[in-house]
Structures are given as C-alpha cells and as structure tokens.
Structure 1
C-alpha cells in the first residue's frame, strides 16, 4: 500500500541547508526527518498490507520537503523498534579502499563508521549515515546490500553470513 511521509502525520521534517566552504547553501525544499509517528504504518501491517513509503515530509508549517529515502527509512526503523534495517544499493557494500573490490568491509561498529564517515564516497555516505542513525537509535543492526544480487534480501535475511556491509553499535 503506497503512502507518503505526509499520510497520517508519519513524518515531520526540518529544512536542511548544507554548508559549503563555511557558507550555508540553499538547495531548495530539502529536509531531514525530525519526528516519526508510526501509527499509520503499524495499522497497515496489522491489516496484512505492506507499506511502501515515499520520502516526502511536511515541516512544522506544512511545507512539503524532499527527504533522503535512506535516512527516512532509518528514522522509521527506529520509531518502529525494528530489529534490522536493510538498505539496497548498486554496489556490494562499503569498501575501505575503493575501488579495490577486495577491501569490502563486511562488518563495522558505529564508532568506527562515524570516524571514517568524512572519507566515504558521496554516493555511499547517505546510506552509511542512515545505518549509523538506525543503530544509534536502537536498531540492532543495519546492512547495506547489493540489490543487483539475485535474491539479495533473502540471502541477507535467511543466511547466517548475510551480504554487504553490516553496521552494529559495537
């Protein structure tokens, strides 16, 4: 069942302005989720439906903002008390020495991830930030998984090894 962050007051966001060279840059109607009311999602799940949430959210004044889907998913996972967050992407996971494919990081603690965050490639940074947000918020583990891999979610959920890069609190 499709829904947006506006439906049922699911998300509230605040506008963000990245800082470049010490100055805030107006990038338009972009925000970050600051609160989640998961009742509408829980109602859908209880009714046997699978919610598919689009990543837009109103601010306190009702202005709808675009929010990063990975960080919105992390905020929702925290609010739901999820055991796990899985983020799909088009690479195998986080590499310690990109583009050296043998440097795939299979598991990383939150503190270590936070310390290397400034060096992470811009495309992977929001995904890893979402994982960090999730585990710091109480989700047991968050994993970045290569969605190009056949049955990637099944392998991640049902195998003991998993795939991709797993982030844990410790």
Structure 2
C-alpha cells in the first residue's frame, strides 16, 4: 500500500500511558506497527499529569471545572512549555527510536487549529475557565503533507484564536476535530478505565458498543473526566468518522490489539445507522 493512500487513524494518547515508561514504549511500538501495516496514524497527545506537576513545582493552582483545566495567562505559558517542550519531544523520541517517522507540531502551526473561548457548564450555568478553547476550524493541510511524506504527525493540542489569543484545547476534543477534518476511518481515545461504564459507580460493567444517539442521551449524566472523551467520540462519528473507540491505556499494546487484532475491549461508538448496542 502506498504511504499516502492508506486510511487515517487518529489516536489520542493520554492518561497513565503517558507517565509509565513501559506503556510509552509499547504505545510507540503500536503506532509504528500501524504505519507498517499500511495505515496512516496521527497522534494527538494530552499532558494533564505533567502540567499539574509543573504547576505544583511553580506554586500555581491546578483547578478544574466540568473536567476542563482552568487556564489563566500564567497557566497557559506552562501548558505550552510542558506540552510542546517536554511531552511531545518524549513521544517523538520514543516513536523515532523505531525509525525516522514522527514529526512534532502544535495546533498553532500553519493555523492547523483555530479555537474560540469555551465556557464550562456547572449546574446549567456557564463558568469562565480562562484560555480554554474549543476548535471551530481545522486546516489539515500540514498534517496531510506529513502523512503523504510517510511521517507520523504528533500534535500538541494548543490552538490560536482569530483574536490572536492562544488556547489550551482538551486533547480528546482536539483529536476528534482533527479526525473529522482528515476524514479518518477511526478515532482511538486512550484513557485510564476499561471503557464507558453502564452504571457507574454501582457497576463496572462496560458498554461494548453504542450508537451516536444512544451516547448523546448518556452525556448529561457522565462523570466530568469521561465527559470530554465521549463528547469527542460523539462529534467524530457525527462528523463522518467511521467509528470511535475508548480503550484502556493501562493495557500494553491496547491500540494494536484493537485496530489490527480486532480486540473488542473498551467502548466503541458507531454512527446511528448501526443500531447494535451491547455490554462487553
């Protein structure tokens, strides 16, 4: 298969997999294996634990509203430094230990992502959370060019607004927006749980598969940490992505097992034409 003709798979890398050295290595191996199998992986990474650790070191507050980090101008400087200067470089290094594949970039580069200020909603009311953005436009030209050249783009979720403001974008939602713009076949979101629980905290039964409409009905009752992940999945499949999978990033090679091995672990969100809904 030609390097520039395979289906695109967008993978959001985050959670414990980002801070565990062995999981970082297995993830890098998975991404390279996807490329060798003829797919075109694009990685969008988070960095919450590393950002929180750096804010603590600097004596700055870490605060969240509705699952999103409250981002002051001072916090934004730390976010950019940690995401682009540390987390991205480490991930690029892990992938490139297997060959000259990964190229790091941010949503600011070549105006790849344009964002507007996003409020958080708490008890039905908007709350100002500072320089947190929601992607409203994606120009995927630079990402496509890297893919055509056989590279693996590694994207930090920082975007600029039309107002010149720089925004911290939730990595799940950034990955979703990029997947839609690229016409990706699949969005894969790594998290720190087994999938979307059917009745948390009463049960740890995981919903194996559900439609966009079914997920839409569940969103208002989801815990804040899972909310942006499932919102990203919903936006992706409604935007034309073939399917979205939430996988347990604590499991080594979870991405490879799901994408190439057909492993049914985690939660899969499909367009409404597919009405199969079943527990795992």
With the length of structure 2 as denominator, give the TM-score of the two structures. Answer: 0.59
Partner of 1:126: 228
Work out the CA distance in 2 between the residues paired with 1:19 and 1:92.
26
Alignment of 1:43-54 (within 5 A): 43-54=145-156
Alignment of 1:5-154 (within 5 A): 5-99=107-201, 100-101=203-204, 103-154=205-256
Work out the CA distance in 2 between the residues paired with 1:153 and 1:31.
28
- The Cα shift of 1:71 comes to 0.4
Work out the CA distance in 2 between the residues paired with 1:19 and 1:123.
14
Q: Structure 1: which 5+ residue stretches go unaligned?
A: none
- The Cα shift of 1:160 comes to 2.9
Q: Structure 2: which 5+ residue stretches go unaligned?
A: 1-102, 273-280
Instruction: Kindly report the root-mean-square deviation, in angstroms, between the aligned alpha carbons of the 2 structures.
Output: 1.2
Deviations 1:126-163 (A, max 9, x none): 10000000000000100000011111011111123432
Q: Count how many residue pairs are aligned between Structure 1 and Structure 2.
A: 169
Runs of 4 or more above 4 Å deviation: none
- The Cα shift of 1:46 comes to 1.3
Deviations 1:32-70 (A, max 9, x none): 000000000011111221111100101111211001000
Partner of 1:162: 264
- The Cα shift of 1:19 comes to 3.3
- The Cα shift of 1:21 comes to 4.4
Work out the CA distance in 2 between the residues paired with 1:95 and 1:24.
27
Larger-gyration structure (1/2)? 2
- Cα distance change on mapping 1:97 and 1:71 into 2, 3 Å: same
With the length of structure 1 as denominator, give the TM-score of the two structures. Answer: 0.95
